[in-house]
Amino acid sequence: MKFAVVVPWVNEAQIEEFLGKWGVVSSAVPEWLVLMHDHNKRGCAVTKNAGIEAALTRGAEVVVLLDDDCFPHGEVRTLEALALAHIEALAPQEVALYRAVTKPPSRGTPYGKLTVEMPVAASMGFWTGVGDYCAVRQLAFGGDAPMEFDRSAVFAQYFPLCAMNLAFKPREWMPWCRLIDSPRNDDIWMGWLWQREAYRRGHCFNLAGPLVRHSRQSDPMRNLEVEVRHLRSNETLWARIAAHPSGDYDELLTLLPADEGGSDR
């Protein structure tokens, strides 16, 4: 399956470190590696969306989004290995849909397995090292506070999807896989819209994608200034998306708070 790895970047020293960590020679970047320079400071969402479009023009069937501060972890030492692990994680997954509500199980509870195999909308990999905290929790816990992960497949529940280490088949999921141009909310809000559509189609999200090491700790005070604009709206936005009578993408977009766009997260 033809793939592309999309990496947005701003700082030249950072992207050189990224390439070095992954064993890529900067003078011989492979055709499947799409390095998107945000030279006009358009922001993370716009840059990643442009990278997805560039990957499609190169014939990619699977796109892996990876931030430039995400480095190898464990046995996954190359970008090719990362992409192949994500492709494997995009295979159908067993998802628990039936719940026994008594112990021992009451009448009507099946004797066999309580899972079904479902197709996967996206493979999300978590990160060791610096956790992906919001500003409030980063200030409370510290950016290096350890984070535990639930790496099971998710269906019919809403969760904070992170596009720092994410893979999907863009031809199947446009426009749902396009990031929203709102700093610090770009992948979260995309995720809630996407989850609404994926669940309608009977797809789950696999959170057992390959791990990477997240190295950068952003400025929590700057993050707080950005996040506070939509902090109240963000509390209930997922529920309004889930309960909206229309599943039309453009109509669901109208639920999102207005944003002036702006800087990278």
135-165 pLDDT, tens per residue?
999 899 877 788 999 999 999 999 999 999 9
pLDDT recorded at residue 146: 87
pLDDT at 93 over 90: yes
Percent with pLDDT over 70 in the chain: 97
Q: How far is CA 79 from the centre of its chain?
A: 17
Strand order in the sheet with 127-129: 70-71, 212-214, 127-129
pLDDT tens, residue by residue, 162-201: 999 999 999 999 999 999 999 999 999 999 999 999 999 9
Residue 75 is which amino acid? E
Q: What's the pLDDT score for residue 222?
A: 93
Residue showing tokens 């945000």 = 38
pLDDT of residue 260: 41
Query: Which of the four pLDDT bands, split at 50, 70 and 90, describes residue 259?
Result: low
pLDDT at 145: 84
Contact 206, 153 (CB under 8 A): yes
Show the DSSP H helices in 90-151 as ranges: 135-141
Q: How far apart are the first and last CA of the chain?
A: 31
CATH 1.10.3470 fits 3-246, yes or no: no
Partners of 13 in beta bridges: none
Alpha-carbon span 146 to 61, nearest angstrom: 35
Residue 147 tokens, joined: 């984070």
The DSSP result for 3-54, as a single string, is EEEEEEE--HHHHHHHHHHTT--GGG--TTEEEEE-TT---HHHHHHHHHHH
At residue 129, what are phi and psi to the nearest 5 degrees? 80, -125
Is the pLDDT at 24 greater than 50? The verdict is yes
- Which residues neighbour 83 within 8 Å (Cβ) at sequence distance 6 or greater? 3, 5, 32, 62, 64, 167
Please work out, in degrees rounded to the nearest 5, the angle formed at the alpha carbon of residue 72 by the alpha carbons of 68 and 74.
155
| Number of residues that make up the chain | 265
Which residues lie across from 76 on neighbouring strands? 73
Dump pLDDT digits (tens) for 205-246: 999 999 999 998 678 899 999 999 999 999 999 999 999 999
What rounded mean pLDDT belongs to the chain? Answer: 94
CA distance 258 to 256: 6
